[in-house]
Amino acid sequence: MKKSNSLPEPVKKKERVQKVLANLGVGSRRSIEELIRQSKITINQKTAELGQLIYGDEVIHINGRRIHIKKKDVFETRLIIYHKPEGEIVSHSDPKHQLNVFQNLPKIKNGKWISIGRLDINTSGLLLITNDGNLANHMMHPSKQIDREYSVRILGEVTEMIIKNIKAGIKLEDGIAHVDEFEHAGGEGANQWYKMILREGKNREIRRIIESQNLQVSRLIRTRYGPIQLPTYLKRGKFKELEKKDIDKIMKSLEII
């Protein structure tokens, strides 16, 4: 019998539906799991089950809308550095607020922009936004311990005892807030600037840390997230989309690829 010189077909690999959809930027794994619980996702016209394994060539609908899954070798990770101004929310829609960080971004097909972490409405500075759910989940997951750097303007007198308290860890209602670095960065009079570095993303964490010491945050700016620094030339409300080579460097430094 004559041997065939053709290579065997690559073996298809199944993955959980929430992972596949999250990687496409449809939403976070948690939000997709909630849609599955609410029976709002169908696979090949059957209601999806939590943790269901799929190949990726199935017919998937969310709330009746067809989701077109691209092949992995076609999917292109995109990453945006956005200089968030105060007054914008990190949400795709909120009836209470008209301005959100996604309004000025380029349109995206078959997916959506995902913020890597959040900044509250009164906080400005570096916000990373991607279409890659895997990248977003990796950079936000507490186990990765990715540091965030902030410039904080504090109203009131920051004593040596307060500095010591903050560096030791502040007990908040949702656990101990650990600060990796807290040091004076300039300023005059009652308003002084401090640099703070944390590896957590608790809601309003820095403001609550400072308020626990009977002080007040009068300005809060995020300047760095992991290896990515806010460019000094990037004006508030503007964004910069990174090139593939730069994204690859970042993903390699974070051991994602």
Classify residue 45 by its DSSP letter.
Answer: T
Cα separations (Å) of 207 from 108, 141, 167? 34, 21, 15
- Can you tell me the distance from the alpha carbon of 228 to that of 148, in angstroms, rounded to the nearest whole number? 10
CA-based torsion, 23, 27, 31, 34: positive or negative: negative
Give strand pairing partners of 125. Answer: 84, 222
- Name, in order, each residue with C-beta under 8 angstroms of 133's C-beta and a sequence gap of 6 or more: 21, 22, 23, 24, 25, 26, 27, 28, 29, 114
Looking at 57, 94, 120, 180, which residue is catalytic?
A: 120
> Residue 77 has which token pair?
């990770």
φ/ψ (deg, to 5) at 20: -60, -50
246 assigned to active site: no
> Residue 71 has which token pair?
């092949």
Classify residue 147 by its DSSP letter.
Answer: -
Q: In this structure, are residues 232 and 242 in contact, taking their beta carbons and an 8 Å threshold?
A: no
Residues marked active site are found at: 120
